[in-house]
Amino acid sequence: MSQIGFYGLGSMGTGMALNLQKHLQDTKQPNLRYSNRTLSKGDCLKAARGIEEPDYISLVKSCDIIFTMISNDKVLNELVESALSTGSISGKIFVDTSTVHPNTVARASEKLTKAGASFVASPVFGASAVAAAGKLIFAMAGPKDTTEKLKPLVLNVMGRSIIDLGEEVSKSSMLKIAGNVMVIGLMELISEVQVFAEKVGLGTATMEGMIADMFGPVAESYSKRLTTGAYAPPHGTAPGFAVSLAIKDAKHAISIANDHDMRLNVSEAALSHMLNARAYAGESLDSSSMYGTVRHESGLPFWTENSRQSS
């Protein structure tokens, strides 16, 4: 049996790793080995009988398949170099589930493949609550025999579906970035609509009801991130998807669009609003915190009665 490893225990990775560990236990496979920059974030995995490794290099040495969920391109580049420094990695499988630039995953694949390993780029769609529920959507690209081997570890374990992008790893990252254009744009639009509803006297509850009836549960869930105050959660409470990660994703999308002679005007507006929100209220905000900026620009307080009240 293959030994599975997981690195990166942020708000997304923790839920994914816990679901993976449960699956391994249920199917009587070796317990998940895990590591993280801050090891204490793995205490819940340890309680679930996961096995702690002191660092990423130790994890690579002890595992055959290594999943990663990290914050940005720089970290992925560092992990690739760390893996290459461990000695022989021939036959190992590296699966990155993060959102990074297509060029970054292409370089990672080239380096790891040259060393005899396999690399699969499989960024995921869904926020932390979706990860905890095991309902993520995986956009997967890599060698066919490798992706087939991974499917039993993903379907009905960490994810509800897999979008097969073939063997060109950059395509999965490109699809994820395209999806983020939709998500970020929708959050920007709903923020404007909800502020409009409040300013003209319709009220956010009325508008949210219309959004649910007209556009369905996905749009309604984005609206609820605003109306419940989740766009600015209490200090010490992790956001559903951190604003700094959304800023990184928006910058990737805008940069790629510019390289192809087009503008993403809505994404640019959303990026500006997220940057202003972070400057006003700090890092511990959700990606939907553009709502606070739109409120502030419209003469309303950045905060609502349901959000926290300070930066």
Question: Active-site residue numbers?
Answer: 176
* In 97-203, alpha helices (H): 102-114, 128-132, 144-154, 169-200
Considering only the C-alpha atoms of the chain, give the largest distance between any 2 of them, rounded to a whole number of Å.
66
Specify burial of residue 214 (Cβ count, 10 A radius: 0-12, 13-18, 19+).
exposed
Contact 254, 267 (CB under 8 A): yes
Per the CB < 8 A criterion, the answer to whether 229 and 304 are in contact is: yes
In three state form, how does the secondary structure of 201-247 look? CCCHHHHHHHHHHHHHHHHHHHHHHHHCCCCCCCCCCCCCCEHHHHH
Question: Tokens representing 80?
Answer: 């690739």
For residue 149, count CB atoms less than 10 angstroms from its CB and return exposed for 0-12, middle for 13-18, buried for 19 or more.
Answer: middle
SS3 (DSSP) at 96: strand
CB atoms near residue 148 (< 10 Å): 10
CA distances (Å), origin 94, targets 33, 63, 89, 153: 14, 10, 10, 13
